[in-house]
Structure 1
Amino acid sequence: MDVIHADPRTIFLKLEGSMTDHAADQKQLARLLQQRKKEVMMETLGEKALGNMSTEDRCHLLQNAMQNAIGAEGGFEAWISLSKEQQGVKIRATYRVLCQQLGQEDFDQLPSTEQVELLRFISAGCGMHKDLNVVKWANLAMIMYWDCNGIDGPIKLMNKDNKAAAEIGNHAVKQRAADVSSGGGAKLGDLAGDILRNKNAKKGHQDSFKNWCTKTFGYPVTFADTSNTRFQSHCDAACDLITFLPSYIDYLHDFKDNKQNRTLNNMENYFLLGLQDIPTITELCVLALYGQVVSVPYTRVIRRPILEVNALDMGDIHRKVGEFLAKVVADPEILLSPELDFTASTVDGQVWERPEVI
C-alpha cells in the first residue's frame, strides 16, 4: 500500500499494532492509535449500515442528526450565522458521530471472535526496556529488603553537603541528611561511573584509571558507562567491581598517594568505603548475578538480527524468564552452588561468550 497517498482511514483500519519503547509518551501514543482505530472502525461499520438502509430510513436518520446539530448551536438563526467553513466542520462531525453510533450498534451484535479480529491491536514494547524496568524495580525491592527485615543495610553514600550536615547538625538535621541520601550496589555503580568514566571528558579519572590498569594488568580498562543512561550498565559495573574488587581498592589507595594532599575527595572516599561495605557488596553480587544469568542471555535472544526474530514470537523467552526467576526464589542454590550446571543456572540454558571486538 502506498502510505503517502492512502486514505488515512484505510491506514488505521489496517493498523494492527505498534512497536515502541516503554516511555510514558510512547505508551500514550499506542493508546491513542488504538482508540483512533476503534473510532475509524465504528465509522466504517456505520457507513456500511447507512448504505444498507432504505432511502427513507437513511434520510430520516440524517435529518434527525442535522436537526440535533442545529439545535445544539442554538437554533436555525444561530446556524445560518455560521460561515460555510464552520457549518462544514460541524456537518462532518455530526456525520461521524452518527456513523460511530450505528457502527457500535452493529459491532455489538457481532460474535466476540469477529469483534476481536476487527479491533486487533498489539502494542509490543522494547525488550531492552523490559529488562531495564526489571532491574530498576528489583533494585528498589532490594533496597527495601533491609528495613523490612530489620537488617542493617548499605552505608549511605552522601554528597559533601549532606555529609557536612550529618557531621555538624542536630539530630533532626542528621536524620534529614540520612533520609535524602542513598546507598547500595546501584548507587556505588553510579559513583564508580562518575569517577572512572565520567560522561564529561574534563572530569573523572578516565586517563589515570586506564594508565593504572595498563601498568597493573598490561592493558587499559574502560569502566561500564553508568555515568550515562545505558542498558545493563549497572549490572556490568557490578560484575567488574566484584570480580576485581581488590584491584579497585588498590587503585584508589594508589591514586590517593599520588595526590599532592594525599587525601581523597568526598566522592572518591565514599567509593572506597562502599567497596569495603558488606551489604553494598552483597547488592553488587545480586546485580552481577542477575546480569549474567538473566539479562545477558535474554538480550542475546531478543537482539538477534531482525530477519530472525519477531516481537510476536517473544512469548516463550518472556515465559522462561518468569519461570526461571521463580525457581531461583525457591532455590537460590541454583546460582550459588559450586557445582552449578549452566543449563539450570541461566535463563536460556546456554553458555554466553562475549563477542570479540574487531
Structure 2
Amino acid sequence: MRKIEPSRNNQGSIQLRFSVNSKRYGFNPVPGGRFDNKRDLNTAQAIATTIQNDILAKNFDPTLDRYRLAPKPRLANADTQHQSPKSLLSLWDYWVASLDLPVATQEHHYKAIRQQIIKANPDLMDTTWLTQSNLGASTFNQRLGYLKRCYRWAVPIKLVTSNPYDELKNRKAYASPIKPFTSREIKVIIQGFEEFAMHYAPFVKFLLATGVRTSEAIGLRWRHIDFDQGFVTIQESLSRDWAGNGYQRVRKETKTGSSRQLEMSEELRLLLWSLRPSKTDQDSLVFTTVKGKPIDDGNFRERYWVKILTKVGVDYRRPYTTRHTTASHAINQGTPVTGVAYLLGHKDTRMVMQTYAHLVNRPKLPDIPIG
C-alpha cells in the first residue's frame, strides 16, 4: 500500500489524495491550513497516518467524517492583539488550536468537553453550566482542570480579564477499592466463556495472562507476536473513537507512549499459536468479533462479560479488573515492583505503588499468645 502523504494544491493549502478499494478520495484535512506552515503540515500528516492505519485495520470511514477538523480558528497578530472571543466555545477553540495536539488526542477529552460546551452554550465568564452539571466527581475534576488551564492561557494574552474557574474546588472523589479476581474466580470465568461465548475465551485469557490494557489487546496484530523469540510486543492500541460509535476505533501508540516486550508463558504461546491463521496477514487483528470486526469494549462488556459473570456467580467487576488481577498476582508471586511497572507499561513505579502498595511487602500480624 502506498504511503499517504500531504500534498500542496494550486492555492498553497494542503490536500490528501489516496485510493481505497479502487475508489479515489481527496480532501483538505486542515481547513484554512497552509502547506508552508509546519504545524498545519504536521497535523495533516497525523491525519494521513490515522487514515492509513484505519485502512490497514479495515476500519476506514468512507465518509471521511472521522478525519475532518473544524475550520482552524485564526488569531489576530500580536500587534493588534487577539480578537476577543464572545463565548466559551470560541475561547476553547482558540486554546485547543494553540496546543498543536495530535488528532487522536483532540478526539478524546478535548472533544468531549467541547460537546458539553456546545450543549450548554455558556457565556464567557459563566461557570454554572459546569457546577450544576450532573457529572461524576472524577469527570468533573478532570474537566475543571482543562478549563483552568484554558483560562490561565487566555488571561496573559488578554482574551479574558480573569479566570473564574480558579475559584472552583474539586469535588471529593471516593476511589472504589480494587478487588482483583482470585484464582478460583479466574477459573470459573474462563470456564464460563468456554461454555457460553467460546469465541471470546482466548481474548479473556489473554487479558488475564498479560495484564495489558483492553485497547492494547483489541489492537494486537500478528506482527506483534514473535513465536521464535517467545515475545508479544505491546506498542500500540486500537482505542475507542470518541468522535464515532460502534466498531469505530483509532489506532495510536500506547497510553504512555512506551513499547514493551512480554515473554510468553508456554500456555500463552500455545493459546496464540492455536489462533494463528494458516495464511497470516501480519497487519490483521489477533482478536476480533465473531464477524471479524474490531472488538468494541462497551459492546463486549454488555453482551458477554456481564452476562457470563452473572451465570458463573462471580461478583461483577469491569473487564479492566483483569489488569489489576495480573498485577496483584505478580506481586503476590514475588515479582519486583519495577518488574510489575514494566509489565503494565508504566514509565516508573509511582502508579504501581499508589495502586498496589497494600500488597507490597505486606506484613503478617505478630505472633501474640492469645490461646
Q: Give the structure with the larger helix fraction.
A: 1
> So what's the TM-score if we normalise by structure 2?
0.21
Structure 1 length-normalised TM = 0.22
Would you tell me which structure has more strand in proportion to its own residues?
Answer: 2
- Structure number with larger C-alpha Rg: 1
